[in-house]
Amino acid sequence: GLIDNRKSAVLPTANTLDEERGESIIVADGTNASRSDGLLHIVYLTFESVDRLNDWMSSSRRRRLIKALKPLLAEPDVVQIQKSRMLPDAFTDLLVRQGDCVPTLQPKKWKVFWLTLLGLFFTQMWIGAVLPHYFDIWKLDGAHQRLQGFVSVAISTFLNSYVMTPLLLLLFDNWIRRKENEIYTREPWRTLSDGITNIWIKALMSIAMYGGFVIAWILNN
């Protein structure tokens, strides 16, 4: 039932919470760390289902491991269970290699932009060079422009989703994976890495884009 087991971070005590001095840091999983003698270890376990998780939490093996580990801990261990993840959007999450577990931190958006741009660029190069020949074979060279556009977009989407994106992820997997310490709080790096978070700015940009489409359609008709 266990599909992923990794040690995500080892933080020195100087970087963790010191209640006496009022200093703190947010660790990779979003929880506050506590200061102790030694190091703070963060371990992520990913299970196939909630049932598998329950089996592990109540297993005798886990109890034996915790019992053996307890004398080595300066403070009691903390278990945090997360059933679902907060997704920044519906697109960034697609850039994960097939068969891999979804990472805790999403890829930086500017890297997603460049990888998507490369995929679309090479796909459109192929479409522009090859598709007119097939339009002639399929008797679509004289078809309505919108039908040709639909076929072109359908083939482009298929090639980009099933060919180019997996290929680029295979080549640039290590580059696009976000490291645990790559968390930005200053602008414009935060927006470039995590995207626009303000809902009103998103709404304004959507209205401007689709409103422009509607105005252009009205003027052309």
In order along its 221 residues, the chain shows pLDDT tens digits of: 555 555 554 444 444 333 333 333 333 344 444 444 456 777 777 777 777 778 888 888 888 888 888 887 777 777 766 655 556 666 666 677 766 666 777 888 899 899 999 999 999 999 999 999 999 999 888 889 889 999 999 999 999 989 998 899 889 988 988 887 787 888 888 888 888 878 898 889 999 999 988 999 898 87
pLDDT digits 0-9 by tens, 83-104:
555 566 666 666 777 666 667 7
- Provide the CB-side half-sphere exposure for 154 (13 A, CA): 6
Q: Cα 27 to the chain's mean position, in Å? A: 18
pLDDT value at residue 79: 72
pLDDT at 191: 86
CB within 8 Å of 44: residues ≥ 6 apart = 4, 5, 6, 7, 8, 29, 104
Complete DSSP assignment for 130-196: HHHHHHHHTT-TTS-HHHHHHHHHHHHHHHIIIIIHHHHHHHHHHHHSPPTT----STTHHHHHH--
Calculate the CA 53 to chain-centre distance: 23
Structure tokens belonging to residue 87:
């997704």
Q: Which pLDDT score, from 0 to 100, does residue 58 have?
A: 84
Write down the pLDDT at residue 129.
92
Task: Report pLDDT digits (tens) over 114-145.
Answer: 999 999 999 999 999 999 999 999 988 888 98
